[in-house]
Amino acid sequence: MSLLASYPFIKPLVIGLVGAAVLTGLLYLGGMFVVWLERKFTADMQSRFGPNRVGKYGLLQLIADALKLLTKEDIVPRSADQLLYLGAPIVAVSSALLMAAGMPYGYIRLPDWSILGVSLQGTHLLAVSNLDVGLLYVEAVSAVSVVGIFMAGWASPNKYALISAFRNVARMIGYEVPLAMSVVGVAVMAHSLNFVDVVNMQSSLYELFPVHPLLRYIPAWFIILQPIGFVVFGVSMLAELGSKPFDQIEAEEEIVAGWGVEYSGMRWALIYFSEYFHLILGSLFMVLLFFGGWTLPFDYPISLSPLVLLAKVILVIMGVLVVRWSLPRFRIDQVQTLGWKLLLPLSLINLAWAGALGMVL
């Protein structure tokens, strides 16, 4: 009898540990790439030089910045709430890691390999866990990052950080509801809360409406089936990311960097870096829900699915960067008006449309 047969708990334990280690490493590499991409991309948008001194094309600039932050003094204000102040960066990063653990990344085809007597040959889903309620799980844990930023602002002995904390709560309440309802709209039309089911449904329109062979080459992405839901999800995602034009919790002119005004060194870098993690994972979430995930409206080798997914995620990230560096910051009252008076009614209309079309499909 093999070791895995004697101790069945070993297999999920090994998959979880290896998956968590690999995802953490890839997430940090991805975060470094996106920081570099934003600097170069926005420099081109604004006709100025981006990083170009450290390494070829400035590729090593982020490593230089990390070394600088590591050598800075780690200052913890004496009158700060120590537990919340020190725990905020951990909560912010933990939210990103929990999101990454709940999403699939395509398929991989392995040759005849074996570990502990178990053959790995065949096609496998790249995911730490293929949850039946994956959509709701990711939506729920993504909101934990807001708690981390609120902890940082609340625990800092600074009125600007405190104002930032309250702005963060106001923003979360205003945009979590439309965001969740747009996700529910996708689930209703797909008849599932599982990411794989949602992605497979978007392969081609012919699978949904077999009326003409040419429909095989038109994707059934939910951006086509639910355009209103996509707009609601996109705007709400930008707001949840705290990205321009929704960066009222930082607002240099009004609250001088908000929640992060008392943080220094690597603690500041950790929370700041978590925002880039959420940019990557938010873009991945959007691709899985509205851009067909790893599917294309024609057949291709399944082992290339992670690369297809990666290409789509990078395109979405660049779209977010264009919005981020093109629009001015909204006032906090404009943010609330947009969330409650426009996005919430639109999300209700989209939910009704999704329910009606979901009954036909």
66 with 80, same domain: the answer is no
Task: Please state whether beta strands 118-119 and 114-115 pair in parallel, antiparallel, or not at all (unpaired).
Answer: antiparallel
258 with 349, same domain: the answer is yes
pTM exceeds 0.95? no
Where among 22, 54, 70 does a domain terminate? 70
* Token reading at 259: 């929640």
180 with 294, same domain: the answer is yes
Are the beta carbons of 188 and 358 closer than 8 angstroms? Answer: yes
What radius of gyration do the chain's Cα atoms show?
22
pLDDT at 117: 62
* Token reading at 194: 């599982």
In angstroms, the CA 221 to CA 202 distance is: 5
Asked, as a colleague might, if the bond just before 245 is cis with ω within 30 of 0, I would say: yes
Are the beta carbons of 241 and 274 closer than 8 angstroms? Answer: no
Of 303, 315, 321, 317, which Cα lies nearest the Cα of 105?
A: 303
Q: Which helix (H) or strand (E) holds 11?
A: helix 10-45
pLDDT at 267: 79
CB atoms within 10 A of CB 73: 6
In angstroms, the CA 232 to CA 82 distance is: 38
163 with 223, same domain: the answer is yes
Where among 47, 70, 93 does a domain terminate? 70
The size of the chain, in residues, is 361
215 with 313, same domain: the answer is yes
150 with 223, same domain: the answer is yes
pLDDT at 8: 65
104 with 214, same domain: the answer is yes
In angstroms, the CA 38 to CA 51 distance is: 10
49 with 82, same domain: the answer is no
In angstroms, the CA 106 to CA 124 distance is: 9
In angstroms, the CA 196 to CA 106 distance is: 9
pLDDT at 9: 67
Of 189, 175, 276, which Cα lies nearest the Cα of 233?
A: 175
61 with 178, same domain: the answer is no
Are the beta carbons of 293 and 190 closer than 8 angstroms? Answer: no
Q: What residue numbers bound the domain in which 66 lies?
A: 1-70
Are the beta carbons of 335 and 178 closer than 8 angstroms? Answer: no
In angstroms, the CA 242 to CA 32 distance is: 19
pLDDT at 119: 65
Residue 129 has, within 13 A of its CA and on its CB side, a CA count of: 20
35 with 128, same domain: the answer is no
pLDDT at 218: 80
16 with 81, same domain: the answer is no
Question: Identity (one letter) of the amino acid at 43?
Answer: A
10 with 96, same domain: the answer is no
pLDDT at 84: 83
Where among 52, 70, 88 does a domain terminate? 70
User: For each of the chain's 361 residues, which pLDDT tens digit applies?
Assistant: 555 666 666 667 777 777 778 877 887 888 788 888 888 888 888 788 877 887 787 778 878 887 887 787 777 788 777 788 888 888 878 888 888 888 888 888 777 766 666 666 677 788 777 888 888 888 888 877 778 778 888 888 788 888 888 887 777 777 888 888 888 888 888 888 888 888 888 887 777 777 777 777 788 888 888 889 899 998 888 887 777 777 777 777 777 777 777 777 777 777 777 788 888 888 899 999 988 888 887 777 888 888 988 999 999 988 888 888 888 877 878 888 888 888 888 988 988 888 887 777 7
**DSSP characters for 220-268?**
--HHHH-HHHHHHHHHHHHHHHT-TTS-TTT-HHHHTTGGGTT--HHHH
Tally of structural domains, the chain? 2
In angstroms, the CA 253 to CA 236 distance is: 24
